[in-house]
Amino acid sequence: MSTDALADGFGRVATDLRVSLTDRCNLRCNYCMPAEGLDWLPNAEVLTDDEVIRLVRIGVEQLGIEEVRFTGGEPLLRKGLVDLVRRTKELAPTPEVSLTTNGLGLQRTAHALAEAGLDRVNVSLDTIRPDTFATITLRDRLADVLAGLAAANDAGLAPVKVNAVLLRGVNDDQAPELLQWCLDQGYELRFIEQMPLDAQHDWSRTEMITAEEIFDLLSGFDLTPAEEARGSAPAEKFVVNGGPTTVGVIASVTRPFCGDCDRVRLTADGQVRNCLFAREESDLRTPLRSGASDELIAQRWRLAMATKLPGHGINDPLFLQPTRPMSAIGG
């Protein structure tokens, strides 16, 4: 392991950088934020495109980052997104670049993002029923999301991945139809256990649909564990009905995968989070804006990783939810 790497005290090395480009969103998913939204970050605190690229470049050139995922809030709200993707792909060694989005606006931008070099896209979609979509997101925009998925597929960002959260008594009974629909479309569906990262701090373990319940809901399908090694991937993958399409289950709470974690996060206001559930952050924006060298910024980033805890601690009795909500951290 090179001394330049983003290593922690448990032998893990972060090579997958998640960059939140904004904390703003154009949906109001009720398991993520309140209907009125949140107090958004002041623009002056949000990294400029040049600052984002400088930090990503330092990560790629000096810290062994191999994958860059742009997230939000909703990253398609970021005006310079296409150019950020292009400039990231121009870095050497060239990182893999992906995007996590709610799909609004993807119909308009999918081809430009693909031309800029985007490799993969994950679209959040919890239902294919317009009424349930409106109940969860407080917006009547399902058709736009579906059109965005089709455009991403058409632009060659395949296999398009769909991330779905099941909510008890809301869309949990729709899991089989959502999987069948994704199979028909050729999209790779992943069910994600709801995590305690909502801005309202309403998360409840008993309300959460567990991985075991997800498997029960999908009992009508033949699910065979995928042969490919999982590595550090969050999703446990299963071949559906003999394949080729797979379905994934990301069970952060009941089947945590922190032992192989290779992720590090950068918030839209320039803070390093060494874990999704980190309760401390390391500020890179201040040194960035006060003339620090790339080497000094890289060193501060390494130090931020050294204090990474072995896991998220959700199952510990003393667990405390981070103050920063998921909408300002990104997937």
Q: Which is nearer to ligand SF4, 89 or 230 (CB)?
A: 230
Smallest gap from residue 311 Cβ to ligand SF4 (A)? 5
Contact range with ligand SF4 by CB under 6 A, out of 32-40, 76-84, 200-208, 257-265:
257-265
By CB under 6 A, tell whether 257 contacts ligand SF4: yes
Residue 190: half-sphere exposure toward Cβ, Cα within 13 Å: 23
Smallest gap from residue 67 Cβ to ligand SF4 (A)? 14
Measure the CA–CA gap between 312 and 320, rounded to whole angstroms.
10
> What x/- string results for residues 306 through 325 when contact with ligand SF4 is judged by CB under 6 A?
-----xx-------------
By CB under 6 A, tell whether 250 contacts ligand SF4: no
Q: Cβ neighbours of residue 220 under 8 Å, at least 6 residues apart?
A: 176
By CB under 6 A, tell whether 190 contacts ligand SF4: no
Measure the CA–CA gap between 109 and 156, rounded to whole angstroms.
13
Q: State the helix-helix crossing angle for 49-62 and 81-89, rounded to 10 degrees.
A: 20
Q: Which is nearer to ligand SF4, 32 or 261 (CB)?
A: 261
Q: Which is nearer to ligand SF4, 195 or 217 (CB)?
A: 195
- CA-angle at 87, arms to 85 and 92, nearest 5°: 110
> How many residues at the interface with ligand SF4, by CB under 6 A?
9
Closest by CA position to 288, among listed 54, 108, 13, 28: 54
Size of the chain, expressed as the number of residues it contains: 331
By CB under 6 A, tell whether 159 contacts ligand SF4: no
Q: Which two tokens stand for residue 74?
A: 């909703």
Quick check: 308 and 8 in contact, CB under 8 A? yes
By CB under 6 A, tell whether 69 contacts ligand SF4: no
Three-state DSSP state, 49: helix
Residue 143 burial (10 A CB sphere; 0-12, 13-18, 19+): exposed
Site for ligand SF4 in 264-293 (CB under 6 A): 275-277
By CB under 6 A, tell whether 238 contacts ligand SF4: no
Smallest gap from residue 36 Cβ to ligand SF4 (A)? 28
Smallest gap from residue 35 Cβ to ligand SF4 (A)? 28
167 DSSP assignment: B
Smallest gap from residue 195 Cβ to ligand SF4 (A)? 8
Which parts of this chain interact with ligand SF4 (CB under 6 A)?
A: 257-258, 261, 263, 275-277, 311-312
